[in-house]
Structure 1
Amino acid sequence: MDSEIELLRAMIKALPDPVFVITETGHYLEIAGGKDPAYYHDGGDLKGLSLHDVLPEDKADWFLEQIRETLEQNRLQTVQYALSQNDVKGLEQAPGPDGNIHFEGRLQPLPITLRGERAVVWAARNISSQRELEMKLQQLSETDPLTGIFNRRKFLEQLDRCFRKFKRYNRPTALIIFDIDHFKRINDSFGHSTGDKVLCRLTKDCAQQLRQVDSLYRIGGEEFAVLLPETNAENACQQAERLRQVSEQLRVEVRQSPVKISISVGVSEFTDADTSIEDLMKRADARLYEAKGNGRNRVVGD
């Protein structure tokens, strides 16, 4: 019997991930496992303390909410969250990973009361590497590989979000669509590598003209879009004119001969009559083709 108890204690102590017993009022009753400093900080000193003793109030409240929800539903619950050693008082100098650690927490109600309280077993697993991979894959799915800016998929997602916000709060949002005039000639005359350089330079120069809240997207071969929150069409036209002027100043040296470009630009904004993002996109496209039809290298807006 003693050997079985010793084995059980050794197993609990050797658990690769930390396991906490926490009461419904947020007190740490027991802590085991998770001793590898490559993955975790040693939380053994938290025993006897409460969540509000060691965590910022908003984080402690969130943990308590998960515990109480688990106890109310009386079933296993899985959550994800991030914590750093600086979030937990007493762990500031403890050996362990730097920065935020992303965790998957698995909460299971205990079938007994402890010190007159219900409690849960909270097993925490470090999923930071998995989270990092997921973020990289998401970034790849949203980013144009040549220019490094957002792609069409991200553009449509963000435009839809702006549309729902406009419908709910009636806050103005403008859209700029532009493309490079006679871009095919550049590729045909100087090669696709020069065309790629033009795209990258234009992207960089235009991005520098935008506010932090604005977003630049490559939505086609040489076609780009800019979303401008809290902006009406008149102010967006002024921004579009700055982009047009920047494009005129761009030079890419090829065989001691600078390649020059210009852009044609269409501008519109959401209106109360719009029923979908396609309405705004059609108007901006129509203004773009109007700019092309009127001689290119110009801005046309609502």
Structure 2
Amino acid sequence: MDSEIELLRAMVKALPDPVFVITESGHYLEIAGGKDPAYYHDGDDLKGLSLYNVMPKDKADWFLEQIRKTLAQNRLRTVQYTLSQKDVKGLEKAPGPDGDIHFEGRIQPLPVTLQGERTVVWSARNITSQHELEIKLQRMSETDALTGIFNRRKFLEQLNKCFRKFKRYDRPTALITFDIDHFKRINDSFGHSTGDKVLCRLTQNCTAQLRQVDSLYRIGGEEFAVLLPETNAENAYQQAERLRQISEQLRMEDRESADKITISVGISEFADTDASIEDVMKRADACLYEAKRNGRNRVVGG
């Protein structure tokens, strides 16, 4: 029997991830496992303390809410959260990873009360590498590989969000779409590598002209879009003119004698009569095509 108890103690102590026994009032009763400083900080000193003794109130409130939800539902629950060494008092000098650590917490009610309180077992697994990989993959799926700005997929997602927000709050919002004029001629005359440079430099110059709340997207080969929150048609036109003018400062291969780069621009302010984002996009596209028909290198609003 003694050998079985010793084995059980050794197993608990050797658990690769930290495990906490926490009461419904938020007190740490027991702590075990998670001793590898490459992944965790040693939390032994937390035993006997309250969540509110060691964490900012907002974080302690969140942890206590998860404990009470688990007890109310009386079942295993899984949550994800982020903590760093600086978030927990007493760990300032403990060896362990720097920066934010992303955790998967598995919370299980215990079938017995301890010190007169209901309790849970909370295991915390470091999933930082997995989390960072997911963010990287998400960013790759939303980003144009050449220019580094958002792609069409992200554009449609954000356009839908802006449209829902517009319908709910009725705040002015505008969409700009533009094409590089005669881009095929640029590729044919100077080569695709030069065409790529034009796309990248135009992207950089346009981004520098936008507000922090605005966002630029590459939605096709030489096609771009800009979402402008809190912007009416008049202000969108002024912004579009700035983009058109900045494009004219570009030259192929940095040669002043070479043809200048120009863009044709269409503008669409969101309207109460719009039933979907397709209505907004069709209006912007119609303005863009009108700009092309009227000689290119111009802005048309609608």
TM-score between the two structures when normalised by the length of structure 2: 0.98
- Which runs of 5 or more structure 1 residues have no equivalent in the other structure? none
Q: State the Cα distance separating 1:254 from its structure 2 match.
A: 6.6
User: In 1, Cα distance between the equivalents of 2:5 and 2:282?
Assistant: 73
Code of the residue aligned with 1:267 in structure 2: it is I
Query: Hey, what does 1:151 align to over in structure 2?
Result: 151
Query: Hey, what does 1:213 align to over in structure 2?
Result: 213
User: Are residue 79 (structure 1) and residue 75 (structure 2) matched?
Assistant: no
Q: State the Cα distance separating 1:260 from its structure 2 match.
A: 2.1
Q: Deviations over 1:12-41 (max 9, x none)?
A: 111000000000010000000001010001
Q: State the Cα distance separating 1:268 from its structure 2 match.
A: 1.1
Q: State the Cα distance separating 1:255 from its structure 2 match.
A: 8.0
Query: Hey, what does 1:276 align to over in structure 2?
Result: 276
Query: Hey, what does 1:292 align to over in structure 2?
Result: 292
Query: Hey, what does 2:3 align to over in structure 1?
Result: 3
Q: Report the 3-state secondary structure (helix = DSSP H, G, I; strand = E; otherwise coil) of the residue aligned with 1:288.
A: helix
- Which runs of 5 or more structure 2 residues have no equivalent in the other structure? none
Q: Report the 3-state secondary structure (helix = DSSP H, G, I; strand = E; otherwise coil) of the residue aligned with 1:273.
A: coil
User: In 1, Cα distance between the equivalents of 2:218 and 2:230?
Assistant: 21
Query: Hey, what does 1:231 align to over in structure 2?
Result: 231
User: Are residue 134 (structure 1) and residue 134 (structure 2) matched?
Assistant: yes
Q: Report the 3-state secondary structure (helix = DSSP H, G, I; strand = E; otherwise coil) of the residue aligned with 2:150.
A: coil
Code of the residue aligned with 1:220 in structure 2: it is G
Q: State the Cα distance separating 1:252 from its structure 2 match.
A: 3.0
5 Å-filtered alignment, 1:93-172, equals 93-172=93-172
User: In 2, Cα distance between the equivalents of 1:81 and 1:31?
Assistant: 19
Q: Report the 3-state secondary structure (helix = DSSP H, G, I; strand = E; otherwise coil) of the residue aligned with 1:208.
A: helix
Q: Deviations over 1:153-196 (max 9, x none)?
A: 00000000000101111111110000100000001111111100
User: Are residue 32 (structure 1) and residue 54 (structure 2) matched?
Assistant: no
User: In 2, Cα distance between the equivalents of 1:57 and 1:45?
Assistant: 19
| Distance 1:296-1:272 versus aligned 2 partners, 3 A rule | same
Q: State the Cα distance separating 1:2 from its structure 2 match.
A: 1.2
User: In 1, Cα distance between the equivalents of 2:35 and 2:48?
Assistant: 19
CA contact (8 A) 1:172 1:229 kept: yes
Query: Hey, what does 1:13 align to over in structure 2?
Result: 13
Code of the residue aligned with 1:94 in structure 2: it is A
Q: Deviations over 1:195-242 (max 9, x none)?
A: 000000000000000001100000000000000111111101100000
Code of the residue aligned with 1:70 in structure 2: it is T
Code of the residue aligned with 1:35 in structure 2: it is K
Q: Report the 3-state secondary structure (helix = DSSP H, G, I; strand = E; otherwise coil) of the residue aligned with 2:248.
A: helix
User: In 2, Cα distance between the equivalents of 1:63 and 1:9?
Assistant: 27
User: In 2, Cα distance between the equivalents of 1:96 and 1:233?
Assistant: 53
Query: Hey, what does 2:176 align to over in structure 1?
Result: 176
Q: Report the 3-state secondary structure (helix = DSSP H, G, I; strand = E; otherwise coil) of the residue aligned with 1:289.
A: helix
User: In 2, Cα distance between the equivalents of 1:257 and 1:37?
Assistant: 62
Q: Report the 3-state secondary structure (helix = DSSP H, G, I; strand = E; otherwise coil) of the residue aligned with 1:231.
A: coil
CA contact (8 A) 1:194 1:254 kept: no
Q: State the Cα distance separating 1:70 from its structure 2 match.
A: 0.4
Q: State the Cα distance separating 1:94 from its structure 2 match.
A: 1.3
Q: Which runs of 4+ in 1 moved over 6 A?
A: none
User: In 1, Cα distance between the equivalents of 2:50 and 2:289?
Assistant: 64
User: In 2, Cα distance between the equivalents of 1:274 and 1:19?
Assistant: 54
Q: Deviations over 1:257-276 (max 9, x none)?
A: 64521000001111111110
Query: Hey, what does 2:43 align to over in structure 1?
Result: 43
User: In 2, Cα distance between the equivalents of 1:258 and 1:90?
Assistant: 65
Query: Hey, what does 2:197 align to over in structure 1?
Result: 197
Q: RMSD across aligned C-alpha pairs, in angstroms?
A: 1.1
Aligned residues between the structures: 302
Query: Hey, what does 2:188 align to over in structure 1?
Result: 188
Q: State the Cα distance separating 1:291 from its structure 2 match.
A: 0.6
